[in-house]
Amino acid sequence: MKTIIAEKPSVAREIAQIVGATKREAGYLSGNGYHVTWAFGHLVTPALPDGYGIKGFHRDNLPILPSVFSLVPRQVKTDKGYKADNDVLAQIKIITQLFHESEKIIVATDAGREGELIFRYLYEYIGCATPFDRLWINSLTDKAIRDGLENLKSGNKYDNLYYAAKARSEADWLVGINATQAITIAAGRGTYSLGRVQTPTLAMVCSRYWENKQFVSEAFWQLHVSTDGKGKDEVLKFSSDDKWKDKQPAEDFYQAVRNSGTITITKVERKETTQETPLLYDLTTLQKEANTKHGFSADKTLSIAQKLYEAKLITYPRTGSRYIPEDVFAEIPALLLTIKGSSAWGSHVNSMGEPTRRSVDDTKITDHHALLITGMKANNLSSDDAVIYHMIIGRMLEAFSEKCIKDVATVLASCSGVVFALKGFVVKQKGWRAIYGEEAEETVLPEWVEGDILPVKACSLAEGKTKPKPLHTEASLLAAMETAGKETEDEELRQSLKTCGIGTPATRASIIETLFQREYMVRQKKALVPTEKGLALYSVVKDMHIADVEMTGEWELSLARIESGEMQAEAFREGIETYTSQITSELLTCDKLFTHKETECLCPKCQTGTMQFFGKVVRCNNPSCVFPVFRQIAGKTMTDQDLLELLTSGKTGVIKGFNSKQGKTFNAVVTFDEEFHTKFIFPDLKTNDKNKKRKE
């Protein structure tokens, strides 16, 4: 008898059907010499500190560095603390019996780092010695499952993957448990959650927020001149190379150009340019583009992709590779034929030649190749599911189409000492750009040559404003996580930086969701905006190791090296323990940032507790309320007197020196709205009887 263990019941049912295990039992299926059972996520996890006899949050216990991690069944939180989940205990009991009765185990958990850990932790907890093989597949189609079962891999081939997964799990425990306890002890009240990847990610959101809010916009002026194009009524507009910070010289040049009435061509450059096809999707790129184009959260995109995978419609979604190997490339023509009859894509398939090879590279495949459809017919997809499915099809068609080729012309002209430029292009071969037809309209320039004198039909002086970097969206945050904050538009460089990114394609969505759940940030349309709670935490940890994005990226690189066999897990563990000791010490010494003084000021929200004045926040001491008022609002730090006035009378006097989003200073009264969020009141100085209100 052999036992196959899958990660989810739905996947177990698919595999059971293939092997003929059709008899339903409690917690598994059986038949034809097989038992097919399942986990539901992590059934076994490292024990919390009380599993090592350490209860509560106490300074003397830190750092907590277990010499050996104990494994326990997954727990649930109750009013009396954590206890084992009864459903988990029941399933572990069933799996234990099946494992011990079997001559062989076939591991069919998801083919990746976490899937490997789910099985190995369970195997270790049970104390099982039954030999096991690995089912390693890229999709859940019947053919893929059959091929995988005929080509099972020895379980020990994935030992390094397990060592990396175990090292990641223990590192997250060490950093998360110790950092959370240390900052909570330092704060003296409430619980603050920190994490190895979570906190650097929050730091990137908060850093961008302050960079955006503190940006001071500057005016600039640019000249434009218009002349005749090729067509009878066509007008072409040149723009000055220079942008002037001072208006007076810009106006002087404007008058000179206007009075001249002509501009002279000084240089004409024509060349053919090639736009390479985009690479296939990995999970992160799919998440970024789904967020940018459709507003989908990273978590939503992953959830849909997982659903499509389990419906046999796409290959394994939690992939970090944008390439496919040679053997998969050989199947691409047949795969494209499966969408030949599609009303949306059929015409593109019919017009394609031989698939191009830019996304083919055996050396750049990690656990899994890039995202592809499987060729199975997609029926009755919801609108959101269809969006992701068709994005993957569209990207496949782009990736296997020809390059886009253009003739680009760049023309320079001068007048009165001002250099002007104009670009135009003509598409010679649409190639992959034809798939979505989003190419900009062609600009056909006349056959100008150096020395041509053109009439100035119109001349204008336009004022512009410098703009800050926008707030992070999930798309830009995913990109920053992927490259440890190093911004680049170069695709090849971005690929090389992936090895030192923070998080993994499989975990980044959950990290972002954790920041929402902790109320450290919120969504405002597509923008990610840190809350006052998130900004207050960032102000404490921003210069500490726990918030260092690049250092966290280095740990991710170490995990990748463990997976590839280049580094021993023990060396990584030693480094993480040293790092944990450093951050614990740093966080415990930040208690001065949380020192407070007691007052008799009644909490305006619960009317029960009294307000404690901390360095960055005033907070209610009632544990069921802990209502906060943060000192810094719109770039202005309020004094104790300001806050006391707000808390006792419901509003302050007029406070000077707030900073608007546009970088301008303003004066306002601070008060509360009906939900006790702070907001501004702007006295109308003209009538003195109307208030113009705006929320903070």
Rounded to whole angstroms, the Cα distance separating 601 from 629 reads 13
Write b or e for each residue in 38-68: b if 16 or more Cβ atoms lie within 10 A of its Cβ, otherwise e. bbeebbbbbbbbeebebeeeeeebbbbebee
HEC secondary structure over 460-513: EEEEEECCCCCCCEHHHHHHHHHCCCCCCCCHHHHHHHHHHCCCCCCCHHHHHH
Q: Is the bond preceding 63 in cis, omega lying within 30 degrees of 0?
A: yes
SS3 332: helix
What distance in Å separates the CA atoms of residue 18 and residue 165, rounded to the nearest whole number?
A: 29
The runs of H, that is alpha helices, within 352-460 are 383-399
Q: Cβ contacts of residue 668 below 8 Å, gap of 6+?
A: 654, 655, 658, 680, 681, 682
Q: Two tokens at 240?
A: 């000055």
Nearest CA among 530, 607, 601, 612 for reference residue 213: 530
Query: What angle, 0 to 180 degrees and rounded to 10, lies between the N-to-C axes of helices 159-187 and 113-126?
Result: 90
Structure tokens of 633? 């609002």
In the beta sheet, which residues pair with residue 220?
464
Token pair for 324? 């496919």
Catalytic residue among 316, 323, 389, 579: 316
316 among known catalytic residues = yes
Q: Which residues in 80-115 are b (16+ Cβ under 10 Å) and which e?
A: eeeeebeebeebbebbebbbeebeebbbbbbbbbbb
* Secondary structure, 3-state, 640-664: HHHHHHHHHHCECCCEEEEECCCCC
Q: For 271-345, where are the alpha helices, taking DSSP H only?
A: 283-294, 298-310, 326-329, 332-337
Query: Which residues share a beta bridge with 413?
Result: 265, 420
Q: Say how far apart CA 536 and CA 62 lie, in whole Å.
A: 24
How many angstroms separate the CA atoms of 178 and 174, rounded?
6
Task: From residue 447, give the alpha-carbon distance in Å to each of 237, 268, 414, 429, 650.
Answer: 16, 9, 17, 21, 71
> Beta-strand (E) ranges in 47-180?
71-73, 75-78, 81-84, 104-108, 132-134, 153-154
Contact 165, 510 (CB under 8 A): no
* DSSP per position, 155-208: GGGGHHHHHHHHHHHHHHHHHHHHHHHHHHHHH-SS-----TTHHHHHHHHHHH
For the chain, first and last CA: distance in Å? Answer: 66
Catalytically active residues are 316
